[in-house]
Structure 1
Amino acid sequence: MTTVTPSTELDVLGALLSFDFIGFAQKSAALDPTGPGYGRAVGAAFGLVVRRRFPRGATPREISGYVAEFLGSLEAGAEDFDPAALERLFAEGLDGVTAAGGGRLGPEPRMQAHLVLSLRLVRELGLGPDEQRELLAEAARATAA
């Protein structure tokens, strides 16, 4: 079993953010979704970027609207995401919850959702490479304990 470290997970997210899809695939293959803490680092990065997108918080209605707009913008694959689960992820991110696992949403779908939504939010916020590196470093610090 491969140990999942925050830097390994964040390397996956970093590859995605830089549109390095070969690196993303290679780094993703090194992750073990059954490992302890799987998804925690990417969840931390997601929470950070959600709080940047909604710096004053968001009402359930605002979150629902954002999720609906996100799903409507997908050319394909919207059916792979449960809107209620995505809304819960946003609420958790706004509350600073970075736990692995995820109740009704298993670790692998949770990771997939965190990755896709983080990419969208980073692009929406216009975070450049330096800001992306800062985001990843902050997520690594948050999960280093």
Structure 2
Amino acid sequence: MTTVTTTELDVLGALLAFDFIGFAQKSAALDPAGPRYGEAVGSAFGLAARRRFPRGASPEEIGAYVAGFLGSLEAGAEDFEPAVLEGLVAAGLAEDGGQGGGLTDPERTMQARLVLTLRWVRELGLGPDEQRELLEEAGRLTAV
């Protein structure tokens, strides 16, 4: 049985594998109006945030990271508000595992979490096995 959690993690897995066709196809199956939309990606986002910043990060460190991240984007930086990204990162580092700090637009929250999770996975040098472990752990955290 395919669940929202499985579908979201499949979307993230396709992105991490640079399978952009699979990413687009799997993304089409997501329902932004669904009651659990974003939970699984939020869990993976929180796990990746805490691995990227294992000792946490001050608001200043988060702000500097977000500024560097946005400055490194070749296109699309205008899609993200720095303060909102900072809030998402802070929430990802918090005890709620990334479920807080969302935007009023769940699709924008999902987009930001996907892009930052991809960035952190690359920065951490997580290979396919570690990526699979991250996705499995996120699945366990969001299982009903």
**Which letter does structure 2 place at the counterpart of 1:21?**
F
Gaps of 5+ in 1: none
1:29 is aligned to 28
1:144 is aligned to 143
Contact 2:45–2:116 at 8 Å: present in 1 too? yes
Distance (whole Å) between structure 2 residues aligned to residue 45 and residue 96 of structure 1: 13
User: What count of residue pairs does the alignment treat as equivalent?
Assistant: 142
1:75 is aligned to 74
Report which stretch shifted further, 22-31 or 92-101. 92-101
Corresponding residue SS for 1:51: helix
Two-structure CA RMSD over aligned residues (Å): 1.5
Q: Is 1:95 the equivalent of 2:94?
A: yes
**Which letter does structure 1 place at the counterpart of 2:119?**
R
Moved over 2 A (4+): 96-102
Report which stretch shifted further, 20-29 or 4-13. 4-13
Contact 1:42–1:114 at 8 Å: present in 2 too? yes
1:127 is aligned to 126
**Which letter does structure 1 place at the counterpart of 2:142?**
T
Gaps of 5+ in 2: none
Distance (whole Å) between structure 1 residues aligned to residue 72 and residue 119 of structure 2: 11
Contact 1:17–1:119 at 8 Å: present in 2 too? yes
**Percentage identity across aligned positions?**
73
- What TM-score, normalized by structure 2, do the two folds share? 0.94
